[in-house]
Amino acid sequence: MKLIKPYICFDEVKRDFKEIFDSGWFTKGKYIEEFRQVIKNHTGARYCFPSTSATTALTIALKAFQIKQGNEVIVSDFTWPATANVVEDLGATPIFADVSLETFNMLPEELEKKITKKTKAVIFVSALGNPSGIHEIKNICQKNSLPLIEDAACSFGSEEKAIKCGNIADISCFSFHPRKLITTGEGGAITFNNQKLESFFEVKLNHGAKFKNGKLNFIDYGYNYRLPELQALMGIIQIKKIDEIIKSRNKIKKKYIDSLTKFGFKAQHVKSDVVFNVQSMVFKVPTGINRDRLINHLKNNSIEATLGTYCVSGNSYYKKKYKNIQKNAKYLEKNTITLPCYEGVNVNLITKVIFDFLHEKF
């Protein structure tokens, strides 16, 4: 039993795949434009640029705010390492902000105490798809004249205060990796509302080129971070059923909570004004339970499970370089578990296997 299955099948794309192959138009075609439009329509953002991944999207987002060597960027610490890696890659310093043990998101008080004269941006991670608290972080950023980037890798379809992820931060960066609700195999997207940034992304994502008088004019250096037509088509089909997907996953979440909370498992907290896409079904394990042994027990019963995500400040590279591990993030890395969540998943079987493990433990 896998952690997730894609919400798309070959039969849904084969006709249009054939059209793309027959046309020979594999990039910068009509499906990319449609993909941009459906993302804008869903998020409410004015501008959207697909990219090859959330990592490349985050890199370009930092470049849009001219982040460079000597700058500091405050990042949520409970996340995939890419959130900090893109800062490190530009020669800037990632400053790790600890997270809530309930929502798993950046704590406002942690952000405030880590802002210095060197701080040039903040990256808020909607952990595992949960944007709880992003508006509070945005308010702090605005008071300190700091741009806010949302690492929205997991949060397509989520919202807080009736505003969709992708339309809250100054720039949002999505992922369409196979573990995500919407997958294009690999891929990502950048959304924002500031018209001044439109030309920057248009040029940077296309080798630094802009069309002038019918030909390419290379006005800057840039990159090939374009998404192909085939992948855009996959994304379009899934986004059209995103509301249905989120509704289904929330029903699965309720089943898990009803079954596991009585054993001491605690689900990631979601604030009352948040719509959560349930990108990942993550629980804190009960006190006294060895999370890794539980994961192995599930694996031995053909059920895929894994940790929640990582305390990046505690990983070998950043631990050695910065020596500043955030305690809540480290606790969550050691004590959270991600369980399978997709249409048709057998929650009853999974919870029975977990119960058997707990019975053996006690």
- Beta strand 336-339 with 306-307 is antiparallel
Residue 203 and residue 266 in one domain:
no
Q: Are 209 and 189 in contact (CB under 8 A)?
A: no
* % of the chain beyond a pLDDT of 90: 94
Structural domain that includes position 166: 10-239
End-to-end CA gap in the chain: 26
**In a domain? residue 5:** no
DSSP secondary-structure letter at 227?
P
Residue 251 and residue 167 in one domain:
no
- Strands across the sheet containing 274-275: 163-164, 159-160, 274-275
Residue 210 and residue 252 in one domain:
no
Q: Count Cα atoms within 13 angstroms, Cβ side, for 135.
A: 11
DSSP secondary-structure letter at 302?
T
Lowest mean pLDDT among 9-18, 120-129, 286-295, 339-348: 9-18
The domain that contains 352 carries what CATH number?
3.90.1150.10
Average pLDDT of the segment spanning 303-318: 98
Q: What is the pLDDT of residue 128?
A: 98
**In a domain? residue 304:** yes
Q: Are 307 and 219 in contact (CB under 8 A)?
A: no
Task: List Cβ neighbours of 359 (8 Å cut-off, separation of 6 or more).
Answer: none
Residue 98 and residue 223 in one domain:
yes
Residue 207 and residue 273 in one domain:
no
Higher pLDDT, 25 or 136: 136
| Residue 171 backbone dihedrals phi, psi, to 5 degrees | -140, 135
pLDDT per position as a tens digit, 83-123: 999 999 999 999 999 999 999 999 999 999 999 999 999 99
Domains in the chain: how many in total?
Answer: 2
- Beta strand 93-97 with 159-160 is unpaired
**In a domain? residue 115:** yes
Residue 350 and residue 248 in one domain:
yes
**E strands, 61-205, in order:** 72-76, 78-79, 93-97, 119-125, 148-152, 159-160, 163-164, 171-175, 188-192
Average pLDDT of the segment spanning 197-211: 93
Cα separation, 243 vs 305, whole angstroms: 25
Higher pLDDT, 245 or 214: 245
Q: Write the CA distances from 143 to 78, 109, 135, 166, integer angstroms.
A: 24, 14, 12, 21
pLDDT per position as a tens digit, 273-303: 999 999 999 999 999 999 999 999 999 999 9
Q: Are 295 and 283 in contact (CB under 8 A)?
A: no
Is the pLDDT at 360 greater than 80? The verdict is no
The predicted model scores a pTM of: 0.96
Q: What is the pLDDT of residue 178?
A: 95
Select from 195, 211, 239 the last residue of a domain. 239
Q: What is the pLDDT of residue 361?
A: 57
What's the mean per-residue pLDDT of the chain? 96
Select from 223, 239, 255 the last residue of a domain. 239
pLDDT per position as a tens digit, 241-279: 999 999 999 999 999 999 999 999 999 999 999 999 999
